[in-house]
Amino acid sequence: MGRVLDEITPAIRQLIDAQHVFFVATAPSGPDGHVNVSPKGLDTFAVLGPNEVAYLDLTGSGAETIAHLRDNGRITIMFCTFEGAPNIVRVYGQGEVIPVDDPRARELRTRFSDHPGARSIVRVDVERVSTSCGYAVPLMAYQDDRSRLTEWTEGKGAEGLVAYRAEKNATSIDGLPALPVPID
């Protein structure tokens, strides 16, 4: 059965570390904006402590999470077990976006593998952790990470990524500012 905790316990950290995918949910302030849920993978998540987590944010087709965090900071991260015992863990907190060229990102970058196209680190102060059964989540076997995003970012090159972010990542679908300054 589900539990509500004030921090990430060693057992929950072990469950989180074993997952190959996680989901990030954010929403803008006010009643009219779109709620966003994004799947993430490629070994980009790190538990920094019982009340702090971070993930490496890679260039993608949008920047909803960045825009929403700049708007209000609210974030929920969900992990589901697809192999073994059923379980769901949700981590709730206040997030901040740290551009990869920010001096504060230097130490955090060491927690992640090097990925081309990294545009920021999302750091979260964890306020609440909850578990639930996950009984309806299907059993699925992990095969491998997809290589397409890495190939795409390498093909774009540094200048191409700056231009892409300026065109596709400057605002959210609701018109909120996301990446106000292109990141090299």
pLDDT tens for 17-75 read 999 999 999 999 999 999 999 999 999 999 999 999 999 999 999 999 999 999 999 99
Average pLDDT, the chain: 95
Write the burial class of residue 66 (CB in 10 Å: 0-12 exposed, 13-18 middle, 19+ buried). Answer: buried
| Domains annotated on the chain, with CATH | 3-168 (2.30.110.10)
- What is the pTM assigned to this prediction? 0.95
pLDDT tens-digit series, residues 135-147? 999 999 999 999 9
